[in-house]
Structure 1
């Protein structure tokens, strides 16, 4: 059985998908981009500001499912420019302790709304 997880504290989906799906004890969080959920605007300043907004969006969705970053077992990071890897990595790392999840980082040609970073995650209760 699966359950839709949604919160107004994270951006509404911009397509036919949900913010997250809870299946059993596993939460699958859709890729988040740097949209401010309060006004629907894309954060287009620095890659650091974009990454912080993405992580805040993930945090809000995790919280809606009764979880936090300690429950995350896997993240996927998509960046438009691998030259931004170190900056994204520095911000991302502030959200995890020594038990950071498994992860991959992939450079892509384009992301929704022409943002520079998107991150999805999988969490387990």
Structure 2
């Protein structure tokens, strides 16, 4: 196993000011920082939560490409959202990215950094082995 940690920077000014990376890769695992639905090139942000989800996933997809990974490699997603009123729309929008992969979710509701216009931030963990094809299996657990 390699002891290499790889970092992806996306050129955002806060990455330099606050000294963080958009993604890191440690072996087969890729972990992201929280990623808002802001277009980092133009600084624009959609007024609706669905638009912010799409932009956040676009931001993450671009960063994942540096490791040859895609959203299909996401196994865990943390959703940070400012309002419960936007939760259903956000989750329905996210679901369009996860057909056939069904990652686990954690959802947190409360204020977010980046201004009042930021409604959602996503943080992901991916499993991306270098030379192995991923197989998936779904099991059904019976409730107690």
Fold conserved (TM > 0.5)?
yes
RMSD over aligned Cα atoms = 1.4
Moved over 3 A (4+): none
**23, 31, 35: which one aligns with 2:34:** 31
**Which residue pairs with 1:20 in the alignment?**
23
List alignment gaps of at least 5 residues for structure 2.
129-144
- Give 1:1-125 correspondences, 5 Å limit: 1-7=4-10, 12=12, 14=14, 15-39=18-42, 41-108=43-110, 110-114=111-115, 115-125=118-128
When the two structures are aligned, how many residues end up with a matched partner? 120
TM-score relative to the length of structure 2: 0.77
Unaligned runs of 5+ in 1: none
Greater strand proportion = 1
TM-score computed with the length of structure 1 as normaliser: 0.88
Aligned partners of 2:59 and 2:13: how far apart in 1?
12
Q: Which has the higher contact order (CA 8 A, sep 6+)?
A: 1
Contact preservation (8 Å) 2:38, 2:46: no
- 1:90 Cα offset (Å): 1.2
